[in-house]
Structure 1
Amino acid sequence: MDKNKSIDHQLRATWQAVAKLYNEQAAKHDSTMATAFVLLNIDYENGTPSTALGPLMGMEPTSLSRILKSMEDKGAIRREKNPEDGRSVIIKLTDYGKEMREVSKESVIVFNTKIREHITDEEMEAFFKVTSTINKLIADKMIYQDDKIDKKAV
Structure 2
Amino acid sequence: MKEKTIDYVLRATWMAVSKMYNEEAGKAGSTMATGFALLSIDPEKGTPSTSLGPKMGMEATSLSRILKAMEDKGLIVRKRNPEDGRSVLIYLTKYGLEMRNFSKGVVLRFDDAVKENVSEEDLKTFIEVANTITELIANKKIYKQEIDLNNE
For Structure 1 versus Structure 2, the TM-score category normalised by the shorter chain is over 0.9
The aligned residue for residue 108 of structure 2 is: 109
Aligned pairs, number: 148
Which residue does the alignment assign to 1:28?
27
Corresponding residue for residue 143 of structure 2? 144
Q: TM-score with structure 1 length normalisation? A: 0.93
Residue 128 of structure 2 aligns with an amino acid whose one-letter code is K
Cα deviation, 1:90-122, whole Å, max 9, x if unaligned, reads 000000000000000000000000011110000
- Find the aligned partners of 2:145 and 2:34 in 1 and give their Cα distance: 37
Post-superposition shift, 1:148? Answer: 4.9
Residues 14-45 of structure 1, C-alpha deviations (whole Å, 9 max, x = no match): 00000000000000010000000000000010
**C-alpha displacement at 1:133, in angstroms?**
0.4
Residue matched to 1:54 = 53
Letter in 2 for 1:110: R
Corresponding residue for residue 97 of structure 1: 96
Secondary structure at the residue paired with 1:143? Answer: coil
Q: Distance between the aligned counterparts of 1:67 and 1:132, measured in 2?
A: 28
Residue 146 of structure 1 deviates from its aligned partner by 2.0
The TM-score with structure 2 as length reference comes to: 0.94
CA distance in 2, matches of 1:147, 1:108: 38
Partner Cα separation in structure 1 for residue 146 and residue 91 of structure 2: 44
Q: Runs of 5+ in structure 2 lacking a partner? A: none
Moved over 6 A (4+): none
CA distance in 1, matches of 2:26, 2:106: 12
1:64 aligns with 2:63: yes
Alignment of 1:11 with 2:39, yes or no, is: no
Instruction: Kindly state the Cα deviation for residue 147 of structure 1 after the two structures are TM-superposed.
Output: 3.2
Instruction: Report the Cα distance in structure 2 between the residues aligned to 1:9 and 1:143, rounded to whole angstroms.
Output: 17
Q: Secondary structure at the match of 2:136?
A: helix
Q: For the residues of structure 2 that align with 1:5 and 1:85, how far apart are their CA atoms?
A: 50
Please state whether the residue corresponding to 1:80 is helix, strand or coil: strand
Q: How far apart are residue 5 of structure 1 and its match?
A: 2.5
Distance in 2 between the 1:108 and 1:15 partners? 14
Amino acid at match of 1:141: K
Question: Is 1:80 the counterpart of 2:79 in the alignment?
Answer: yes
Give the equivalent residue in structure 2 for 1:152. Answer: none
- C-alpha deviation, 1:125, in angstroms: 0.6
Give the secondary structure class of the aligned counterpart of 1:5: coil
